[in-house]
């Protein structure tokens, strides 16, 4: 992804904004990305990717997703249609199966919060 590509498509949070937040705030946990930037609080599609970016930052690496914005958006659309994340997309974006939390590889979309 390029820095200006969006990681959170619901709230239009770019990779650049996430990188800057990580560099300036150095959050100890990935959930602070969501708390401070709102990324991952809409449809929750990007939560595993936010965790991956945070893990890269904590290892001293430049946070990045190894996928095109078109592939990323297409996989998100499929997630909305099937209620399941594409495990292959998660592996591809991280560049390695081992980097993604195992629980993210086939996590179903949470129930709609509007109903309850």
Task: Give the mean pLDDT per block of 10 residues along the chain (116 residues).
Answer: 96 98 98 97 95 97 96 94 89 70 50 44
Examine residue 115 and state whether it is found in any structural domain, yes or no: no
What pLDDT, on the 0 to 100 scale, is given for residue 50? 97
What pLDDT, on the 0 to 100 scale, is given for residue 32? 97
Examine residue 83 and state whether it is found in any structural domain, yes or no: yes
What pLDDT, on the 0 to 100 scale, is given for residue 109? 53
Residue closest to 75 by CA, chosen among 106, 45, 110:
45
Examine residue 103 and state whether it is found in any structural domain, yes or no: yes
Examine residue 1 and state whether it is found in any structural domain, yes or no: no
Say what the pTM is: 0.83
Examine residue 114 and state whether it is found in any structural domain, yes or no: no
What pLDDT, on the 0 to 100 scale, is given for residue 36? 97
Examine residue 116 and state whether it is found in any structural domain, yes or no: no
- Are the beta carbons of 89 and 75 closer than 8 angstroms? yes
What pLDDT, on the 0 to 100 scale, is given for residue 114? 42
Q: How many CA atoms lie within 13 A of 109 on its CB side?
A: 20
Structural domain including 43 reads 6-109
H-type alpha helices, the chain: 15-25, 31-37, 47-58, 69-82, 87-94
Q: Into how many domains does the chain fold?
A: 1
Examine residue 38 and state whether it is found in any structural domain, yes or no: yes
């Amino acid at each position: 992804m390029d820095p200006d590509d969006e990681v959170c498509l619901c709230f239009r949070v770019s990779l650049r904004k996430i990188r800057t937040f990580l560099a300036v705030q150095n959050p100890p946990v990935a959930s602070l990305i969501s708390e401070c930037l709102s990324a991952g609080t809409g449809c929750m599609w990007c939560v595993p990717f936010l965790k991956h970016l945070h893990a890269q930052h904590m290892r001293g690496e430049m946070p990045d997703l190894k996928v095109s914005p078109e592939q990323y958006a297409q996989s998100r659309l499929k997630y909305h249609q099937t209620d399941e994340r594409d495990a292959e997309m998660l592996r591809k974006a991280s560049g390695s199966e081992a980097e993604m939390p195992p629980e993210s590889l086939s996590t179903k979309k949470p129930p709609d919060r509007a109903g309850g």
